[in-house]
A = this chain, B = another copy of it.
Amino acid sequence: MATKPSIPKGTRDFSPAEMAKRNYIFNTIRDVFYLYGFQQIETPAMENLSTLMGKYGEEGDKLLFKIQNSGDYFSGLTDEELLSRNAAKLASKFCEKGLRYDLTVPFARYVVMHRDEITFPFKRFQIQPVWRADRPQKGRYREFYQCDADVVGSNSLLNEVELVQMIDAVFAKFGIRVCVKINNRKILTGIAEIIGEADKIVDITVAIDKLDKIGLDNVNAELASKGIAQEAIDKLQPIILLSGSNEEKLATLKTVLAGSETGLKGIEESEFILSRVAQLGMKAEVELDLTLARGLNYYTGAIFEVKALDVQIGSISGGGRYDNLTGVFGMDGMSGVGISFGADRIYDVLNQLDLYPKEAADATQLLFVNFGEAEAEYVLPFLFKVREAGIRAEIYPDSAKMKKQMSYANAKSVPFVAIAGENEMKEGKIMLKNMESGEQSLLTLVELITVIKG
């Protein structure tokens, strides 16, 4: 009768072992957010569709999970409307709510709704799941967590400096070697101004990005094929071939973009950010990279992206400066800058590089073996006391075979097992077994606590 249960495609269960790893990731990121003075908020999983629709483009609207209205969702619908079978149009009649698609739009909505309670600049972080009706594939899920930190209500470039330091701090804690790539939308705008091809900026960055793979001639050919004039391509040559240190790149750009006020502003901003983070001693590489064009419709100043050096994988963190977070909700002039950490990719990187801490921070440290009712009654006060001392401990609840209890200890990777039979009870002690070394010692309660607390 009962069918074998399953979960919706693109979603995941997380086992205790996976949760230990995920908690390690989220706790590490959260601790750095706190260290930098960011404060946590949470928003509901469900938002009104009026809040979500139209914010992610036409494609995004289709990827929203919509929640059917409770009760009679047919009310007010004519036969014609129903029989039209217009799925998109009728969804808006059947549904008023949807699951959040990212953390940015709910954050913008939050800022507008709570503007009178918030003290600006507002340094907020948010670590919550989001949902997208994307076609599931390897590494892409329909439910996944985002970890975002943003500062809104401040135009200071110190915020950019701090965010780059935060990126550095997070990946240093993980032990993941990374390169932080930095670009600036204003530099890209300057390039477009100089060559008179404002609408071609994405084509240009895509072509430049291929230099290493296809060589200069082919890059130039690709630019021409995209309808960029020969004169413009000529002007682009120093930019395509841009190389050397960040300082050298900026010096070249200053010459090329001398005629663009916006371009020079972008260079100045990048100089500020790069020089400050250099002074403060970054562990990560930091590289000015003009091919970085993520979120180009959205970002107005600095753009960040983080690549892992030792694993082939897409960017594992990214962000940038934006001008008008809340304009779509009728509140103008709220600029900000933020970054987002890709928890799922970081999970994969830590796995591939075997960088998880060997000792799970929250796992059981001590298991009391259960030999029967009398023995269990003898060990219960010990169990109570070791917990009072802060040791994570448990008793095997049933007086099962020793082998079964030891398998349980092994499956949970419990490092110490406490045994109390007739002899131990007579002496008022506990036999403690170190599961790694196999060593056993007969101990008093105080000794037991001392050994385990190391």
The contact of A41 among B19, B42, B68, B129, by CB within 8 Å, is B19
Proximity bits, A276-289, B CB within 8 Å = 1, else 0: 10011100000000
Interface residues of A in 157-173 (CB under 8 A from B): 158-159, 161-162, 165, 169
Known pairs A35-B392, A46-B142 / 13 extra A-B pairs, C-beta < 8 Å: A6-B51, A7-B43, A7-B113, A8-B97, A11-B44, A11-B46, A16-B41, A16-B124, A35-B393, A45-B129, A46-B131, A62-B70, A68-B68
Please give, as numbers and ranges, the residues of chain B lying within 8 Å of A279 by CB-CB distance: 380-381
Please give, as numbers and ranges, the residues of chain B lying within 8 Å of A408 by CB-CB distance: 119, 121
Identity of the chain B residue whose Cβ is nearest the Cβ of A4 in the assembled complex = B330
Proximity bits, A94-129, B CB within 8 Å = 1, else 0: 111101000000000110111001010101100001
Q: CA–CA, A390 to B133, complex, Å?
A: 41
Q: Is A352 an interface residue (CB 8 A)?
A: no
Q: CA–CA, A380 to B165, complex, Å?
A: 11
Please give, as numbers and ranges, the residues of chain B lying within 8 Å of A119 by CB-CB distance: 407-408, 411-412
The contact of A39 among B16, B73, B110, by CB within 8 Å, is B16
Identity of the chain B residue whose Cβ is nearest the Cβ of A34 in the assembled complex = B362
Once the chains bind, are B41 and A13 in contact (CB under 8 Å)?
yes
Please give, as numbers and ranges, the residues of chain B lying within 8 Å of A48 by CB-CB distance: 5-8
Please give, as numbers and ranges, the residues of chain B lying within 8 Å of A124 by CB-CB distance: 16
Q: CA–CA, A143 to B123, complex, Å?
A: 25
Contact status of A397 and B8, CB under 8 A, knowing A50-B3, A87-B74: no
Once the chains bind, are A87 and B112 in contact (CB under 8 Å)?
no
Q: CA–CA, A79 to B83, complex, Å?
A: 7
Once the chains bind, are B87 and A143 in contact (CB under 8 Å)?
no
Min CB distance A27 to B, Å, is: 11
Q: CA–CA, A72 to B88, complex, Å?
A: 8
The contact of A13 among B2, B44, B281, by CB within 8 Å, is B44
Q: CA–CA, A380 to B47, complex, Å?
A: 40
Q: CA–CA, A44 to B45, complex, Å?
A: 12
Min CB distance A75 to B, Å, is: 9
Q: Is A387 an interface residue (CB 8 A)?
A: yes
